[in-house]
Amino acid sequence: MRLMISGGGTGGHIYPALALIEALQAQDPTAEVLYVGTHRGLESRIVPERGIEFKTIKIQGFKRSLSLQNFKTIWLFLKSVGTARRYIKAFKPDVVVGTGGYVSGAVVFAASQMHIPTVIHEQNSVVGVTNKFLSHFVDRIAISFESARSQFPEKKVVMTGNPRAQQVVNIKRTAALQALGLADDQPTALIFGGSRGAARINAATLEAIPELNQRSYQTLFVTGQVHYDQLMAKLGETKLAANVKIVPYIKNMPAILPEIAAILGRAGATSIAEITALGIPSILVPSPYVTNDHQTKNAQSLVDAGAAKLVKEADLTGASLLAALDSLMLHADARESMAAHAKQLGQPAAADQLLQVLESVVKR
Ligand SMILES: CC(=O)N[C@H]1[C@@H](OP(=O)(O)OP(=O)(O)OC[C@H]2O[C@@H](n3ccc(=O)[nH]c3=O)[C@H](O)[C@@H]2O)O[C@H](CO)[C@@H](O)[C@@H]1O
């Protein structure tokens, strides 16, 4: 199969695409893949690192208010559709897949106009702007939450789950925490604010560090690349005990996750797919800055199933973060029950199911 795939901006759109590529190449070692992203998004760093052919187009998002920038956006969109058409003519894909972000809008739209089979993958419970637009043109729409179904043209929708779920369950334990300098025989809490870090989660964690230093459990705190230097400067003279580790980013999250006892983090859809696939107890602090408050809706589906706790960002302080973490990290029974509920929501065959959708449109 010749797969052209596009998804960009944040990890939540990129990692599902990479997981799908991995599953395809495992199934069909002769498969050819071209990834199209932007040169500014996180994808420009992570995709080439995996040895995947990567091409870029220039595009920007619409401003919500009326602005001259929007004319530039329309012009850039039309231009990027032209660039995408050139890439498609040269690569000759059997299928073009979009996993969200503005860049996938141009690529998948161009493919649909050229009558190439197209599929989009929606990770969230509330549908993103780009996928909403593309839903009118594509052949199939793969979803990860049942609640997304009614927001799309019904006949095109297939429930597959998020391919990242399958990727993380297939990883064997590798003593990844030890490689980061943590012990391998203590329960470990992972704190991170999505793929780009979250200032508020970082501030609350920083406040809690003197206490975390004294806990019987370990903490792995991932700040997000752009926040790291400033956070370490603010940490100043505060010493870190051996049970607390701070890093800017985790390159190989699937290797870390099986060794994690509980997570405190945002409620991005791809993080949730990982948490449920592996059955990891979690405290979710939804980002209030995303379209239609979709992270709260993502998180609520877990909370309703007894699979996670929700703490509103407005209520997050050093003390409330510590109390929430202690309630899980100091109580193995609470973790066990939450883990079992989380796992019931997992979709560990998602990548294979999405591959079947791709095959069905190629054959048609
Ligand atoms: C602010 C924003 O717009 N967030 C959106 C974005 O979140 P974001 O990009 O944060 O996405 P998610 O939380 O869904 O996924 C983050 C991904 O990055 C990985 N990771 C994270 C940190 C790290 O150090 N290393 C690493 O590999 C995680 O394992 C996960 O695979 O896309 C999601 C999926 O469409 C949406 O639900 C989120 O609302």
Per-residue model confidence as pLDDT tens digits over 220-248: 999 999 999 999 999 999 999 999 999 99
- ipTM, 2 dp: 0.97
The answer to whether 12 is annotated as binding is: yes
What's the pLDDT tens digit per position in 296-308? 999 999 999 999 9
Q: Which domains does the chain have, with CATH numbers?
A: 2-162+349-363 (3.40.50.2000), 176-344 (3.40.50.2000)
Predicted confidence (pLDDT) at residue 363 exceeds the cutoff of 90: no
Please state the rounded mean pLDDT for residues 88-115.
97
The answer to whether 295 is annotated as binding is: yes
| Contact of 350 with 160, CB cutoff 8 Å | yes
What's the pLDDT tens digit per position in 154-174? 999 999 999 999 999 988 888
Share of the chain above pLDDT 90, in %: 89
- Can you say how many angstroms the Cα of residue 261 is from the centroid of all Cα atoms in its chain? 20
Q: Which atom of ligand 1 is nearest to 248's Cα?
A: 24
Question: Which position has the higher pLDDT, 67 or 137?
Answer: 137
Q: What is the pLDDT of residue 69?
A: 77
What's the pLDDT tens digit per position in 250-301? 999 999 999 999 999 999 999 999 999 999 999 999 999 998 899 999 999 9
Q: Which atom of ligand 1 is nearest to 164's Cα?
A: 31
Q: What is the pLDDT of residue 146?
A: 92
User: What is the C-alpha to C-alpha distance for residues 215 and 45, in angstroms, rounded to an integer?
Assistant: 36
* H/E element, 296: helix 294-304
What's the pLDDT tens digit per position in 319-356? 999 999 999 999 999 999 999 999 999 999 999 999 99
The answer to whether 191 is annotated as binding is: no
pTM: 0.93
Q: What is the pLDDT of residue 75?
A: 86
φ, ψ (nearest 5 deg) of residue 15: -60, -35
| Contact of 247 with 176, CB cutoff 8 Å | no
| E-assigned strand segments in the chain | 2-6, 32-37, 53-56, 95-98, 118-122, 140-143, 157-159, 188-192, 218-222, 244-247, 262-265, 282-284, 308-310
User: In the structure, what pLDDT confidence band is assigned to residue 65 with cuts at 50, 70 and 90?
Assistant: low
Share of the chain above pLDDT 70, in %: 99
Q: What is the pLDDT of residue 64?
A: 63
Q: Which residues lie closer than 8 Å to 22 by C-beta, 6 or more apart?
A: 167, 351
Query: Looking at ligand 1, which residue's alpha carbon is closest to its atom 28?
Result: 271
Q: Name every protein residue with a CB atom under 6 angstroms from any ligand 1 atom.
A: 10-13, 15, 100, 123-124, 164, 192, 194-195, 222, 249-250, 253, 266, 268-271, 274, 287, 290, 294-295
* Residues forming beta bridges with residue 33, ordered by sequence position: 3
User: In the structure, what pLDDT confidence band is assigned to residue 60 with cuts at 50, 70 and 90?
Assistant: confident
The answer to whether 270 is annotated as binding is: no
User: In the structure, what pLDDT confidence band is assigned to residue 68 with cuts at 50, 70 and 90?
Assistant: confident
Query: Looking at ligand 1, which residue's alpha carbon is closest to its atom 13?
Result: 268
User: In the structure, what pLDDT confidence band is assigned to residue 66 with cuts at 50, 70 and 90?
Assistant: low
Can you read off the two tokens belonging to residue 320? 């409330």
